Amino acid sequence: MAQVTLRKVQKTYEETPAVCGIDLDIPDKEFVVLVGPSGCGKTTTLRMIAGLEEITAGEIAIGGEVVNDIPPKDRDIAMVFQNYALYPHMTVYENMSFGLRLKKTPKDEIDRRVQRAAGILNISQLLDRKPKQLSGGQRQRVAMGRAIVRDPKVFLFDEPLSNLDAKLRVHMRTEIKKVHQHVRTTTVYVTHDQVEAMTLADRIVVMNAGHIEQVGTPHELYHRPATRFVAAFIGSPAMNMVPCGVEEAAGGLRFRLSEDLSFPVPRERSERYRPHVGKGKLLFGLRPEHMIEQRPHVEPGQQPFEAKPVVVEPMGSESLVFFVLNGVEACARVNPDCGARVGEPLKLVADLRHVHLIDDETGRIL
Amino acid sequence: MSAVAIEARPARRGSISRDRKKAMYWSYFFLMLFVLFFLTPPLYMLIMSLKTSGEIAEARFPWWVFHPTFDNYWSLLGSENFQNFFINSTLVSLSTVVVTMLISIPAAFSLSRMKFWGSATLAAGVFLTYLIPETLLFIPLFKIFSWVTEFTGIELVNHWWVLIFIYPTLTVPFCTWIMIGYFASIPKELDEAALIDGAGWLQLLVRIFIPVALPGIIAATIFAFTVSWADFLYPLVFTTSADQLVLPAGIVTTLIKGDVFEWGRIMTAALLGAMPPLLIYAFLMDYYIAGLTAGATKG
């Protein structure tokens, strides 16, 4: 088991930068998820840790040892690939034991480790089968089993659930979490699915265009995003971002969303937002769950307003109501029994305790 | 709501099933044409092989055997010359296959997987060498052999084993080329998984690539065997004495004497000679097709 350290790590493909000098410290036993859109450099970063990509500049250390020039096999890592990469001509047992056999591990030790891993993953009955006789979920378990038997310093997962159907993905997500709780190996996990990132990670690293946007626990990223990118990327449906201004009014500062809609700035934020009074290019950010239907009892911080739904999506436990706010589409998460109908005015409240003011030019959260 | 009766519409003319039927008829028509075209020569050979020399000379009706006999078969199978040709052909072809595979597999592996400077150009170059016909190569090869004899005293001409060195010039480029295609269809993650598991390049080749690429390798093997079994020009040029000849050249040089053609025995010998490749194709056909079409269908 070991910590992983990245120092000013860069990767350039023929002048095109893929990873632009990132710094990251992953402590021992931590489950870190690299998340971001396609082409953000997350997979490249993982492959550099694995030793499958050379580093253009910077330094990667595993367990305190710089591994820049160490080949993958000597880094003591195990990797689970998106398409499983099981050896098709070998049985599950042979697949899982391949690495140990190459290391000339004694047979009874190999057997002990394979049986243990198979037990953890509940695949003991599949050991004699070939990969083509397995379902997607079973193949994924075998791929994880192959990683577990090696008892490596670090687990690397490259979008391991992308090839599974939605239901199985949720199930395997739980399995991966259970396995990590059981073996406690430092894990770096790459995904583009923010739900996967939120549910699995001890800490999430949000990447964008080769840079790290923010590192934090799922709770931190969700409630205190540092940038507009993180705010928009984490959470589904995405955070509403409505162009606004901040103005001085009789009762204090107000967010001005349109000519006839403004909300008071929460008192504790007044000083923070005062320098932005009268400035343009600001966004009013509020997550859909903080825009709900108006209830008889209004909580402190909740401000009523009226919206005309253009689309209502019933989800069963809740309904998503889409409406236009200052020229952009916004979404509210309401009780399915609140009677939201397309075209009929709906009374909503905005919970301003959770509001974010975003500088549209720099993308920073103010 | 009032019930609305939905009338069943009559099937349109030119519907999918009609089109399909039409296409099927045409497919069968052309397939039959192909079968006729390609199976007529072997059928004719079979008919001729069952005739006596007298019946062939009579030329009464070439498509029927009036007095079938296996005399041609017995006389050839008992002939020492023919047995010799057969043994020489077998030794040359099997050795060529081994030599070809020993060169082609590592070559294809390195060209398709170990991306190094110039690997793409080299891969194209390998294929280009295949395009040079043997009719252009045999004179320079003959020249090279005479130089070797001149400098080392080793006589290379008129030995059956020299074909083992010559045939790979035909088989290696093509086999390397089809295996590059096959290896390229194997997902890259498989090597990466093996590299992380601790395999070196050689272990990766032997323990992962060769077993996974077996259909491609078998296709290449069949090709190498067929080419070396059936080649006519090189053995005709490089071997002369009867004990050194292989089947294709042997049949022609011993069964055609001046203007006397022993048609019955020639046809019999050709049929017997065609048997080994035919049997190999029959048993390994599925592998052969899987190997040749791999790049086309796999991601």
Do A11 and A135 lie in one domain? The reply is: yes
E strand or H helix at A33? strand A31-35
CATH number of the domain to which A256 belongs: 2.40.50.140
pLDDT of residue B49: 92
Do A148 and A284 lie in one domain? The reply is: no
Do B54 and B122 lie in one domain? The reply is: no
**Inter-chain contact A85–B198, Cβ cutoff 8 Å?**
no
Domain boundary among the residues A233, A250, A282 is at: A233
**Inter-chain contact A85–B192, Cβ cutoff 8 Å?**
yes
Q: Which of residues 46-85 of A touch B (CB under 8 A)?
A: 50-52, 71-73, 77-79, 81-83, 85
Express each pLDDT in A217-233 by its tens digit.
999 989 888 898 998 88
Do B222 and B261 lie in one domain? The reply is: yes
Do A220 and A292 lie in one domain? The reply is: no
pLDDT of residue B295: 45
On whether residue B135 sits in a domain, the answer given is yes
On whether residue B118 sits in a domain, the answer given is yes
On whether residue A366 sits in a domain, the answer given is no
Q: What is the mean pLDDT of chain A?
A: 87
Structure tokens at A186: 């430092």
- The one-letter amino acid code at B293 reads T
B199 at interface of A, judged by CB pairs closer than 8 A:
yes
Do A193 and A261 lie in one domain? The reply is: no
On whether residue B166 sits in a domain, the answer given is yes
Express each pLDDT in B186-234 by its tens digit.
888 898 999 999 888 899 999 988 988 888 888 899 889 999 999 999 9
Res. A243 pLDDT band, cuts 50 70 90: confident
Say how far apart CA B156 and CA A259 lie, in whole Å: 99
Say how far apart CA A154 and CA A3 lie, in whole Å: 8
Say how far apart CA B39 and CA A219 lie, in whole Å: 75
Do A207 and A287 lie in one domain? The reply is: no
Q: Specify whether the CB–CB gap between B170 and B137 falls below 8 A.
A: no
Do B138 and B40 lie in one domain? The reply is: no
Do A225 and A254 lie in one domain? The reply is: no
On whether residue B275 sits in a domain, the answer given is yes
Bridge-based pairing state of the strands A252-258 and A261-264: antiparallel
On whether residue B64 sits in a domain, the answer given is no
Instruction: Please state which of the ranges A5-14, A314-323, A337-346, B224-233 shows the lowest mean pLDDT.
Output: A337-346
Residues of B in contact with A51 (CB under 8 A): 196
Bridge-based pairing state of the strands A154-158 and A186-191: parallel
Do A97 and A124 lie in one domain? The reply is: yes
Say how far apart CA A224 and CA A166 lie, in whole Å: 29
Domain boundary among the residues A200, A218, A233 is at: A233
**Inter-chain contact B199–A72, Cβ cutoff 8 Å?**
no
Domain boundary among the residues A175, A200, A233 is at: A233
Do B53 and B102 lie in one domain? The reply is: no
CB pairs under 8 A between A and B: 56
| Number of other residues whose CB lies within 10 A of the CB of residue B198 | 20
**pLDDT < 70 stretches in chain B:** 1-15, 287-299
- For residue B25, what are the domain limits? 16-58
Do B143 and B87 lie in one domain? The reply is: yes
pLDDT of residue B268: 93
On whether residue A364 sits in a domain, the answer given is no
Report the pLDDT averaged over residues A341-365. Answer: 86
Burial class (CB in 10 A: 0-12, 13-18, 19+), A114: buried
Q: What distances in angstroms separate CA A266 from CA A257, A262, A356, one per listed residue?
A: 15, 12, 11
Q: What is the mean pLDDT of chain B?
A: 86
On whether residue A245 sits in a domain, the answer given is yes
Structure tokens at B83: 């047995």
Do A160 and A258 lie in one domain? The reply is: no
Q: What distances in angstroms separate CA A199 from CA A182, A219, A351, B99, B162, one per listed residue?
A: 17, 10, 25, 56, 69
* B212 min Cα distance to partner chain A (Å): 6
Do B49 and B158 lie in one domain? The reply is: no
CATH number of the domain to which B251 belongs: 1.10.3720.10
Report the pLDDT averaged over residues A342-358. Answer: 87
Q: What distances in angstroms separate CA A194 from CA A205, A236, A241, A339, B71, one per listed residue?
A: 11, 8, 19, 31, 81
CATH number of the domain to which A139 belongs: 3.40.50.300
Do B48 and B137 lie in one domain? The reply is: no
Q: Specify whether the CB–CB gap between B123 and B107 falls below 8 A.
A: no
Which among B187, B190, B197 has the least Cβ separation from residue A99?
A: B197
Q: Specify whether the CB–CB gap between A322 and A313 falls below 8 A.
A: yes
Do B21 and B101 lie in one domain? The reply is: no
Q: Specify whether the CB–CB gap between B269 and B247 falls below 8 A.
A: yes
Say how far apart CA A67 and CA A7 lie, in whole Å: 12
Express each pLDDT in A77-97 by its tens digit.
999 988 888 998 899 999 999
Report the pLDDT averaged over residues A119-145. Answer: 87
Say how far apart CA A50 and CA A178 lie, in whole Å: 23
**Inter-chain contact A73–B195, Cβ cutoff 8 Å?**
yes
On whether residue B44 sits in a domain, the answer given is yes
Q: How many domains does chain B have?
A: 2
Instruction: Tell which residue, B87, B96, B92, B108, has the closest CA to residue B221.
Output: B96
| Number of other residues whose CB lies within 10 A of the CB of residue A365 | 18
Q: How many domains does chain A have?
A: 2
Q: What is the ipTM of this complex?
A: 0.81
Say how far apart CA B198 and CA B256 lie, in whole Å: 61
Do A39 and A63 lie in one domain? The reply is: yes
Residue showing tokens 């992962």:
B208
pLDDT of residue B102: 95
Say how far apart CA A177 and CA A165 lie, in whole Å: 18
* A167 min Cα distance to partner chain B (Å): 25
Q: For residue A153, is pLDDT > 70?
A: yes
pLDDT of residue B294: 52
* A150 min Cα distance to partner chain B (Å): 8
On whether residue A365 sits in a domain, the answer given is no
- For residue A294, what are the domain limits? 240-359
Express each pLDDT in B98-125 by its tens digit.
999 999 999 999 998 887 888 888 888 8
Do B140 and B276 lie in one domain? The reply is: yes
Residues of B in contact with A150 (CB under 8 A): 197
Which among A83, A103, A146 has the least Cβ separation from residue B189?
A: A83
What is chain B's Cα-based Rg?
A: 26
Do A213 and A315 lie in one domain? The reply is: no
Q: What is the pTM of this model?
A: 0.79
Do A9 and A78 lie in one domain? The reply is: yes
Do B261 and B164 lie in one domain? The reply is: yes
| Number of other residues whose CB lies within 10 A of the CB of residue B143 | 10
Express each pLDDT in A285-304 by its tens digit.
889 989 888 888 877 778 88
Question: How far does Cα B169 stand from its chain's mean position?
Answer: 15
On whether residue B253 sits in a domain, the answer given is yes
| 3-class DSSP string for B9-47 | CCCCCCCHHHHHHHHHHHHHHHHHHHHHHHHHHHHHHHH
Do A175 and A227 lie in one domain? The reply is: yes
Do B128 and B228 lie in one domain? The reply is: yes
